[in-house]
């Protein structure tokens, strides 16, 4: 199955992860800035004859829009998603605790891409999404995620609640976000194996998803805004987990 990658981040991430899957990479020869120069230097060495100059009309046709930064690629779709059990076992084998992001009903590709970006930055082991009522990885998600969609496991499940219970049985503590919760995200110990569960903007989590969570927390809000964008809220929660995990490491490990 073919996939279109748009922009520097998405194409360069694929170059690092699986260059062989890139079938054709097109670039704008009229863009002669340093960023394009650095990209071409890397791409020419790896891709050879798979690298092609293309005019703006061709790039627009491939990307479907003009926000392509002068780089578009045709690639074979690669699968980085694994099972929840494998993710947990991998984390344990590396003497770590699993960190999941569970997204319920995030259908906007820009929000989904931004969630993947913050998840990758915070060291999330996998993102879990339902098969229905969710955005899927496409060119927009790939570009917004700045390449994160190429490397972070995204596990699509048929029944989200059933998969959440599977995670709980494996020792993962599921923490949902709710504006009305008594505890704040800063009141919890987030250093164990956990899953941060986020709902769509406006609707939030579905009822069964909320009821399946082990605990509900809120993000403290001080201004007049009632809620945060789902990707921003995900970042707040995930980076608090990362902060706590770093603080718990031996001093030598922090500086390595």
Q: How far apart are CA 254 and CA 72, in angstroms?
A: 38
Largest pairwise CA distance in the chain: 60
Q: How confident is the model at residue 15 (pLDDT cuts 50, 70, 90)?
A: confident
Q: Do 2-76 and 84-252 show the same overall fold? A: no
Pick the CATH number of 84-252 from 3.40.1280.10, 3.40.250.10, 3.90.1170.50, 3.30.70.250: 3.40.1280.10
How are strands ordered across the β-sheet holding 71-76?
A: 2-6, 71-76, 22-27, 51-53
154-212 residue pLDDT tens: 999 999 999 999 999 999 999 999 888 999 999 999 999 999 999 987 778 999 999 99
**Ligand-binding site membership of 228 (annotated):** yes
**Ligand-binding site membership of 176 (annotated):** no
* DSSP β-bridge partners for residue 2: 76
202-247 residue pLDDT tens: 778 999 999 999 999 999 988 887 778 999 999 999 999 999 999 9
Residue-range domain boundaries for the chain:
2-76, 84-252
Q: Is 160 exposed, middle or buried (0-12, 13-18, 19+ CB in 10 A)?
A: buried
Dihedral angle computed from the Cα positions of residues 33, 35, 41 and 47, in that order, rounded to the nearest 10 degrees: -110
**Ligand-binding site membership of 7 (annotated):** no
Pick the CATH number of 2-76 from 3.40.50.2000, 3.30.1330.30, 2.40.37.10, 3.30.420.40: 3.30.1330.30
């Amino acid at each position: 199955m073919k996939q279109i990658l748009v922009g520097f981040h998405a194409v360069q991430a694929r170059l690092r992860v699986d260059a062989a899957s890139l079938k054709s990479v097109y670039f704008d020869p009229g863009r002669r800035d340093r960023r394009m120069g650095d990209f071409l230097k890397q791409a020419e060495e790896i891709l050879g004859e798979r690298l092609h100059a293309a005019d703006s009309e061709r790039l627009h046709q491939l990307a479907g829009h003009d926000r392509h930064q002068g780089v578009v690629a045709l690639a074979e779709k690669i699968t980085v998603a694994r099972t929840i059990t494998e993710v947990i076992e991998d984390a344990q084998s590396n003497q770590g605790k699993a960190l999941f992001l569970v997204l319920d009903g995030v259908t906007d590709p820009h929000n989904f891409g931004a969630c993947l970006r913050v998840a990758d930055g915070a060291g999330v082991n996998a993102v879990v999404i339902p098969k229905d009522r969710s955005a899927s990885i496409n060119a927009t998600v790939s570009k917004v995620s700045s390449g994160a969609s190429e490397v972070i496991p995204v596990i699509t499940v048929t029944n989200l609640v059933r998969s959440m219970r599977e995670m709980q049985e494996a020792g993962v503590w599921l923490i949902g976000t709710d504006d009305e919760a008594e505890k704040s995200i800063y009141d919890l110990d987030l250093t164990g194996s956990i899953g941060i569960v986020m709902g769509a903007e406006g609707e939030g989590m579905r009822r069964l998803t909320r009821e399946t969570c082990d605990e509900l927390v809120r993000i403290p809000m001080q201004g007049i805004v009632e809620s945060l964008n789902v990707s921003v809220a995900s970042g707040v929660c995930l980076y608090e987990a990362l902060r706590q995990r770093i603080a718990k490491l031996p001093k030598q490990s922090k500086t390595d």
